[in-house]
A and B are shown apart, each in its own frame.
Chain A
Amino acid sequence: MATAVATGRAPRRSDPAVGASRRRQAVSFALLLTAILILWEGLKFLGGTPWRAPGALPGSPILWNPPLRWPFASDLTLPHVWNILLAYAQPWQPGAHAESLAQKLAEAALYTWRSAAIGFVFGTVLGLILATVFVHSKLLERALVPYVIASQTVPIIALAPMIVFAFGANVVSVVIIATYLTFFPVTIAMIRGLRSFDPRAMELMRSYAASRSQIYWKLRLPASLPYLFTALKISATAGIVGAIIGEGPGGISEGLGRLIITFNQYYITGPEKLWAAIGGTALLGIVFFVLIVVAEWFVLRNRRPAQAA
C-alpha cells in the first residue's frame, strides 16, 4: 500500500504474488489428481480382477494377475481408469449410429444445466427476497425462519414426486426442485450478509436522513455481496443436484438424471459408463462453480484484497 500511496497509482490484482499462488493451486490440484489415480490403480494392482488390455473382452490374454481379490477393487466396482476414458469415446448405447458417450454426456449436461441455472436464478431471487423481508422484520423472521429450515430437512426424493404430481412431468417441475434446493443457502447467508454492514456506516446514513430503500441499495446490499457469492457457490452445485434428482420423477429423458438412472440399471454390463457419467456430472458442477468464482472476482475486483494491503 505504501507504494500505491507514493506513486498515486492503483495496484491491481495482477500482482506477481497472485499469479504465483494460482500456479501453486494448479500444481497441487494436478498432484492430488495423480495421487488419486495411483491409489485407484494401486488397489486394482494388488487386489483387482486379472488385468487385460484396455477395452479387451473377457477371455483375452491376462496381462497381470493380482495376488489378492478384494471385492471393492474388482472391475465391476472400480473399473480401470483407461476403460472409463475409453468409454467416453465409445457409443453411449449399443447401436449402429449411436453418438459417443462424451457427446451424449455433454448434451445431457447442457440440458440439465439449463434447468439448474433457471432454478438457481429463481432460488437466488427468492432467497434474496426472503432475507430482505427478514432483516426488516424481526417478527416475520422469528415466525418464518423455522419453516425455511424445516423445508430443507425434508428429503428432496420425498418431495420430488409430489412436485411432479402437482406441476406435471416436465421441465417446470425440475426447475421448481432446483429452486427449492438453491433458495436456502442464499436466504441464510443473506440474513447475515444484509446485517454485515459497519454500524457506523448505518449512523452515517441516518445522519443523511436516508430512506430504508436508500440504506438497502447503497449500504446493506453492497456490504452483503461477499456473503451472497459464498451462498451462490453452494447453491450452484445444489441446483445441479436438484435438477438431476428432479429429472427422474419428472420423466425428463434428455438430462443427466435419466442417463445416470439408465447406466445404473445396466451397471453389470458397463460399469465404466456410470463412472464416466459421474465424471461428467462432477465436471458440470465444477464449471458452474467456476462461473460463480469468475463473477465474484469481477464484481468484487475493486474491494480490498484480503490481507494484502
Chain B
Amino acid sequence: MPDQPVVHLAGVDKVFARGDQPVTTALEGISLDIAQGEFVSLIGPSGCGKSTLLRIIGDLTGPTRGEVIVNGKPAEQARRDRDYGMVFQAPVLFEWRTVEDNVKLPLEVMGASAERRSQRAAEMLQLVELGEFLKHYPWQLSGGMQQRVAIARALAFEPAILLMDEPFGALDEMTRERMNSEVLRIWEQTGTTVVFVTHSIPEAVFLSSRVVVMSARPGRITDIVDVDLPRPRNEDTRESPRYFELVTAVREALRHRDSGESGGGAGAGDAGLASAERTMAEGAVG
C-alpha cells in the first residue's frame, strides 16, 4: 500500500466538558492525511487546538468523535507499537539522568540490549552535535542544548513519526533558527515523518512541505499551504522571494479567518520577525 497515509484524520472533533462548566469545542471537523516522509506544520493562534490535535494523533488524549488512523491502525495501537517520538516545548529531561542516560530512556523502556542502547545514544547525540556531553547532567546545559537532547531522545528508537509541540517556542530567535536548520538536516537524514506545531510563520514555512493553517474557537483547518521551496533549504532559502511570498500567503490565510485581535497582532509581529531575520542572515553572511 504505497499510497496509504501515515496519519489519517477524518471528521475529528474534540469537546472539553468539565463538570457543570460550559462545553468548549476545541476541534471541529478536522480531516487531514499526512504522507510518509512529509514535514507538516500546524499553525494557528493560541487556543486553536493545534497542540490538542497533535496530542490526539499521538494518543495522549482521545478525540470526542472521528477517526484517527496511524500507520494503518488506530492511534492507540500505534502508541503501543511505539510509532511516536514526542518533543515538547520544554525539554522534559530527567534531571537525575545524564544526557546519555536520558537518550537511552526510551530504549530501556523498550527493552533494547545494553550494547544497542549505548550505540544509539552515541549516534543520536552525535547527530545533534552533543557528542562530548554524554556524561553531563541536563541542568549543566543551555536551553537549546537541552532541547537537542530531547530531539536525540525522540529519535533514539527510530519512531515512524516525530510529533513536535512548539519545540523551540522557549528559545531565543537566533538559537531557534539554528535549531530549525538542525531539524531539517536531521529530517533529511532520517526520512522520518514530522508533525510540527508552531506559532511562528517563518519557522513553519522554512521547515515544512505543507503548512496547515488553523483558526480558533472552534479549532478548524482553514487552509493548507503547499511549500514548494527547493531542498535542501538553508540560510539562502530565507532570503528567496518565493519564501517571502509563502510567508505572506500563510499570514493571509491566518488573517483571513481570524480577522479579530489575535490574527492582526500575530501578523504584525511576524512581519517584524521576518525583517529582523533578514538582517541577521545578512550579518551572518557578511
Which positions in A face B, CB cutoff 8 Å? 1, 4-5, 8, 10-11, 198, 200-201, 203-210, 214, 218-219, 222, 225, 300, 302-304, 309
Note all chain B residues with C-beta closer than 8 A to A209: 79-82, 109
CA distance A209 to B85 in the complex (A): 11
A10 pairs with B109, CB closer than 8 A: no
- Interface: B84 (CB within 8 A): yes
Partner of B141, one of A5, A218, A222: A5
Can you list, as one digit per residue, whether each of B68-93 has a CB less than 8 Å from chain A (1) or not (0)? 00000000000111101110101010
Note all chain B residues with C-beta closer than 8 A to A225: 96
Q: Residue on B with the closest CB to A4?
A: B140
Nearest first, the 5 A-B pairs at minimum CB distance are A304-B139, A208-B109, A207-B86, A210-B109, A200-B92
Note all chain B residues with C-beta closer than 8 A to A309: 139
Interface of B is mostly: loop
Q: Report the minimum CB–CB distance from B145 to chain A (whole Å).
A: 7
Known interface pairs A10-B137, A303-B96; 8 further A-B residue pairs with C-beta atoms within 8 A, sorted by A's residue number: A8-B132, A204-B86, A204-B92, A206-B79, A207-B60, A219-B94, A222-B94, A304-B137
Partner of A207, one of B79, B95, B108, B139: B79
Q: Report the minimum CB–CB distance from A200 to chain B (whole Å).
A: 5
CA distance A95 to B113 in the complex (A): 69
A203 pairs with B60, CB closer than 8 A: yes
CA distance A203 to B61 in the complex (A): 10
A218 pairs with B95, CB closer than 8 A: no
- Interface: B58 (CB within 8 A): yes
- Interface: B106 (CB within 8 A): yes
- Interface: B170 (CB within 8 A): no
Instruction: List 7 A–B pairs whose Cβ atoms lie within 8 Å, in order of A's numbering.
Output: A5-B145, A10-B140, A11-B140, A200-B92, A214-B109, A218-B105, A303-B139
Q: Report the minimum CB–CB distance from B255 to chain A (whole Å).
A: 32
CA distance A201 to B88 in the complex (A): 10
- Interface: B142 (CB within 8 A): yes
B82 pairs with A201, CB closer than 8 A: no
CA distance A207 to B106 in the complex (A): 9
Note all chain A residues with C-beta closer than 8 A to B133: 8
Q: Report the minimum CB–CB distance from A228 to chain B (whole Å).
A: 13
Note all chain B residues with C-beta closer than 8 A to A210: 109
- Interface: B110 (CB within 8 A): yes
B60 pairs with A208, CB closer than 8 A: no
Q: Report the minimum CB–CB distance from A248 to chain B (whole Å).
A: 43
- Interface: B233 (CB within 8 A): no
B88 pairs with A200, CB closer than 8 A: yes
A206 pairs with B60, CB closer than 8 A: yes
Note all chain A residues with C-beta closer than 8 A to B90: 200
Partner of B82, one of A4, A11, A208, A214: A208
A1 pairs with B94, CB closer than 8 A: no
Note all chain A residues with C-beta closer than 8 A to B81: 209
Q: Report the minimum CB–CB distance from A121 to chain B (whole Å).
A: 23
- Interface: B136 (CB within 8 A): yes
CA distance A208 to B110 in the complex (A): 7
Note all chain B residues with C-beta closer than 8 A to A4: 140
CA distance A210 to B132 in the complex (A): 29
